[in-house]
Amino acid sequence: VATPTGAAPSVRGETDAAVHGHVLGLDIGGTKIAAGVVDGDGRALSFVVEPTEADRGPADGLARLFALGHRAVAESGVDWADVQSVGIGCGGPLDSARGVLVAPLHLTGWRDVPITDLAEQEYGRATVLDNDATAAAAGEHRYGAGRGTRHMVYLTVSTGIGGGIVLDGRLYRGATGNGGELGHVTVDWQGRRCRGCGRLGCLEAYASGTSIAERAAEAGLGAMKATEVAAAAEAGDETARVVWGETVAALACGVASIVNLFEPEMVVVGGGVTGAGEQLLGPVRESVHAQAIGAAGRDVRIVQAALGPQVGVVGAAAVARERVLDAAG
């Protein structure tokens, strides 16, 4: 999938380069790797994707990722001289400060990969590594649905559930960049086993796409994807309505706890399960407003993410840009 836009290179002045220069964003998912050149306004001038095939190992995977990055630059129409830095987003555990993939859960066998050093050797550009959900939060905050907020929480409800937190306008990362694991907020301490972390009753064990499909199968609906469960519930299937109702209740419970913790102005919800749109977000919003404490619960806006499938690449660019701005003071 390649969608070059043929946009012209930046014409801004050199003094603005640190803020407005182009960034190469790389995104390493469990099934797909993606690359794109992102301009100072968060637009992806190119976006190229191919299968991850993580079982071929890190050497093979990184060679293909770096080649994909070169392709993204070529297809963007931007001169390499105008690409100022590189951002990489990946699932954890990783060490953001050292730029090392420690042992990502979705990349079996990729251990202690010094990916930013390798990317800097490849591209000759300063490179930043971050957790993919943190990067997505940065993208939605800087360029997407969360623009203009100071306190924002991002949730991606997909195969699993990830999260990212912006406090006082800054990304919260934790000690090594693995903070903000909002999918592992407990919604039932004696509940279902979480595939992600092994504990009981995590939000992810109820409201992730995988868990919705599992609960649907257990309820007798057969093999259905989360969006199909939503459609069946909408069409009036009683069993699907129960499964979907539990999904909404679990998500609302988790989001209410998150809202009580951080008092964000906005919760941005992305990921494939939000394809159900207001059928998911409407009742979650209503329930969170009723459950969460005081002003935090009354005023919080709960909205759909804006960046779509490019969020990984745009988010990776956003974290690279954030650190460039930090370095610039």
Chain residues in the site for Zn ion (CB under 5 A): 184, 194, 196-197, 202
Q: How far is the CB of 103 from Zn ion (least distance, A)?
A: 17
**C-alpha dist (Å) from residue 189 to 39, 47, 77, 119, 203:** 44, 41, 52, 42, 10
**Residue 204 Cβ vs Zn ion, minimum distance, rounded to whole Å:** 5
Query: In the complex with Zn ion, which residue's Cβ is closer, 36 or 162?
Result: 162
Residue 161 Cβ vs Zn ion, minimum distance, rounded to whole Å = 9
141 vs 184 by CB, closer to Zn ion: 184
- Residue 185 Cβ vs Zn ion, minimum distance, rounded to whole Å: 9
73 versus 202: smaller Cβ distance to Zn ion: 202
Which lies closer to Zn ion via its Cβ, residue 139 or residue 160? 160
What are the residues facing 127 on neighbouring strands?
Answer: 86
CA dist list (Å): 238 to 229, 243, 245, 277, 279: 11, 9, 10, 20, 16
Among residues 134 and 211, whose Cβ is nearest to Zn ion?
Answer: 211
Residue 92 CB, nearest approach to Zn ion (Å): 13
Q: Give the count of beta carbons closer than 10 Å to the beta carbon of residue 200.
A: 14
Nearest-approach distance from CB 210 to Zn ion, in angstroms: 12
Nearer to Zn ion, 22 or 192 (CB): 192
Residues 76-92, buried b or exposed e (16+ Cβ, 10 A)?
A: bebeeebbbbbbbbbbb
CB-wise, 142 or 192, nearer to Zn ion? 192
The number of residues making up the chain comes to: 329
Task: Tell the smallest beta-carbon distance from residue 202 to Zn ion (Å).
Answer: 3
